[in-house]
């Protein structure tokens, strides 16, 4: 099984480190020929507008969109969750390039600015009964899910922070920053 981490911008190095610690040798995806080698792709947190523009510049947007959820399992964390969403509520006119394959609606920076970043424990029974550490940095929130997607974790106020739709996974928090690899292991099982 080959795993790629989109390595154009953002915290891709942290995902690579977690995968290596798990005994997986990931491919850093920067070009279409790298993408063609992988069966799973992690789209990291970072700046979603920048990552979207780089996906277009490096001719990766359409190939990911074509394969996502089919022969390519895709996990978007934070900015990656924005990129895989079908609808982003607070986009500027003209918007940003989106992969747009997961039936969900997200709101960018839902919790405020960088200063409003926070950590909390999250229940996510699909990875076990022990709470997950949740690190939220200028995080989006999943506002609504379509009929094909399922919420996997919520904040105490009910806000959705993790969802799955077949071979698509979205987390608005950063599991790669916590030392807890359970969400990475879940992704490897999709």
State the alpha helices, DSSP H only, in 24-180: 32-35, 48-57, 61-67, 79-84
- Residues with Cβ within 8 Å of residue 79, at least 6 apart in sequence: 10, 43, 44, 45, 46, 47, 48, 51, 140
* Residue reference for tokens 């996997």: 152
Q: How many residues does the chain have?
A: 190
From the candidates 14, 15, 78, 184, which is the catalytic residue? 78
Could you confirm whether 87 is annotated as catalytic?
no
In degrees, rounded to 5, the angle at the alpha carbon of residue 53 between the alpha carbons of residues 181 and 109 is 55
Q: CA–CA separation, 122 vs 170, rounded Å? A: 15
From the candidates 14, 15, 34, 174, which is the catalytic residue? 174
Parallel, antiparallel, or unpaired for β 40-43 and 141-145?
Answer: unpaired
Could you confirm whether 39 is annotated as catalytic?
no
Could you confirm whether 176 is annotated as catalytic?
yes
Whether 6 and 43 have beta carbons less than 8 Å apart is answered as: yes
From the candidates 14, 15, 34, 176, which is the catalytic residue? 176
Catalytic residue numbers?
78, 174, 176
């Amino acid at each position: 099984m080959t795993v790629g981490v989109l390595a154009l911008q953002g915290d891709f190095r942290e995902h690579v480190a977690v995968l290596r610690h798990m005994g997986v040798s990931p491919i850093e995806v920067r070009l279409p020929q790298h993408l063609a080698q992988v069966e799973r792709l992690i789209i990291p947190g970072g700046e979603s507008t920048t990552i979207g523009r780089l996906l277009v510049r490096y001719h990766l947007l359409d190939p990911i969109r074509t394969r996502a959820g089919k022969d390519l399992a895709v996990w978007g964390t934070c900015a990656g969750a924005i990129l895989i969403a079908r609808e982003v509520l607070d986009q500027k006119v003209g918007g940003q390039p989106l992969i747009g394959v997961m039936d969900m609606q997200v709101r960018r920076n839902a919790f405020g600015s960088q200063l409003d970043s926070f950590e909390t424990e999250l229940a996510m029974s699909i990875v076990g009964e022990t709470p997950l550490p949740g690190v939220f940095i200028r995080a989006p929130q999943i506002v609504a899910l379509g009929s094909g997607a399922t919420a996997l974790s919520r904040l105490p106020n009910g806000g959705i922070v993790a969802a799955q739709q077949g071979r698509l996974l979205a987390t608005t928090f950063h599991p790669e920053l916590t030392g807890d690899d359970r969400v990475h292991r879940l992704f490897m099982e999709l």
